Amino acid sequence: MRYICTSIVATLALAGTSFAATINVPGDYTLIQDAINASSDGDTIVIAAGTYDEHSINTNNKAITIGSASGNLDVTIDAQQGGSVFVINSGEGSGTEIKDLVITGGNATQGGGIYCRISNPTISDCTISGNTATMLGGGIYCLSSNPTISGCTIEGNTANGGRGGGIFCDGNSPTITACTISDNTAIEGGGISFFNSNPTISNCTISGNTAYAGGGIFCINSNFTIGGGSVCDNSADQTFVDSYSNFESSLCWIAPSCDGNPYDFINNQQEQINQLLTMHDQQQTAIEDLQQVVAECCAARTCTGDENGDGVVNIEDLLIVISVWGPCP
């Protein structure tokens, strides 16, 4: 009887346990959306190399990972102008991750590539390019969301009628790390536009973006911190920050041109810098030796520094000391 009870308890425990699964596209499901619909929290949707023509792919508030089977950028999801490529608007958290994908061909009013609303997804190592928004966020649109965006290339996206060619954020605190944001276009904020937001940007390259104001970054009523990386070669001003915003920049290169990056200059000149430091040390040693010679001479002769006996201690006396460099006789 004991064994029967144990067996029943074990069966019930297993029945209540959820195991993460791997779902293959197109092996298990032809469409990515169908794979998402069949998934549960903790599952991974693995997509084989190729191009998939889908749009408005909704993650449905599931803590799942969606990415390339190889971990390389060999999976392209092309919305073919049918809408946003991804829609994340059901309260997703950081456990919802999109990674290692090329996201392109999106066309929507907001968020051509990725539309994100009241959600906090993780977007990593993706290329988000060739997407269009008629108003806000050609590449990524974030409203009241705190996404983590890392290692992504966000390029060649357009916000035709508004802000944020690459990224637009409203009322949120995104973290953007180690991304390249380039060649995006908007009326304001060619690269990134912030409104009522508190973003953190680090080690990003924001260059070659185009806008009438804030070619690189356009900021309204926001507090943002930017560190590392560079903001350069953007049209108009590199950054536009209104009087209601606080802009903290640390170790970030903001300049009209990417040529002559001071970090590159320092790296290229490190050998010369080391040589100068060595020369300084040698000169310091020589000065100390000279001071010692003068001190020894004076000690030996009980002199006051008047080597030529003219009653004045000046450069003439120092030249005599130098001419007989070495130990005092």
What is the pLDDT at residue 8? 41
Q: Is the model more confident about 86 or about 318?
A: 86
12 confidence band (pLDDT: 50, 70, 90): very low
> Residue-wise over 116-128: b if at least 16 C-beta within 10 A, else e?
bbbbbbbbbbbbb
From the CB of residue 318, how many other CB atoms can be counted at a distance below 10 Å? 14
Quote the percentage of the chain above a pLDDT of 70.
Answer: 79
From the CB of residue 293, how many other CB atoms can be counted at a distance below 10 Å? 16
Provide DSSP, 72-123: SS-EEEE-TTSS-SEEE-S---TT-EEES-EEE--EEEE-SSEEEES---EE
What is the pLDDT at residue 293? 58
What is the edge-to-edge ordering of all strands in the sheet holding 158-163?
A: 107-110, 132-136, 158-163, 185-188
Judged against a pLDDT cut of 80, whether residue 262 lies above it is answered with: no
Q: pLDDT digit string (tens) for 25-73?
A: 999 999 999 999 999 999 999 999 999 999 999 999 999 999 999 999 9
In angstroms, rounded to a whole number, what is the distance separating the alpha carbons of residues 280 and 158?
A: 54
What is the pLDDT at residue 5? 44
What is the pLDDT at residue 126? 98
| Contact (Cβ atoms closer than 8 angstroms) between residue 92 and residue 121 | yes
The CA-based angle 141-145-148, given to 5 degrees, is 85
What is the pLDDT at residue 111? 97
Arithmetic mean of pLDDT over the chain: 86
299 confidence band (pLDDT: 50, 70, 90): low
Judged against a pLDDT cut of 70, whether residue 222 lies above it is answered with: yes
What is the pLDDT at residue 281? 72
Which has the minimum average pLDDT: 100-109, 181-190, 262-271? 262-271
Q: What is the mean pLDDT of residues 230-234?
A: 93
**Identity of residue 277:** L
Judged against a pLDDT cut of 50, whether residue 7 lies above it is answered with: no
| Placement of tokens 């190399």 in the chain | 49
For 113, the token pair is 């590539």
Q: Is the model more confident about 159 or about 317?
A: 159
Judged against a pLDDT cut of 70, whether residue 271 lies above it is answered with: no
Which has the minimum average pLDDT: 76-90, 131-145, 254-268, 280-294? 280-294
Q: Report the candidate in 141, 272, 157 with the shortest Cα–Cα distance to residue 195.
A: 141
| Contact (Cβ atoms closer than 8 angstroms) between residue 75 and residue 103 | no
247 confidence band (pLDDT: 50, 70, 90): confident
What is the pLDDT at residue 212? 94
Quote the percentage of the chain above a pLDDT of 90.
Answer: 66
315-323 and 270-301 helices cross at what angle (nearest 10)? 100
Which has the minimum average pLDDT: 80-94, 192-206, 230-244, 270-284? 270-284
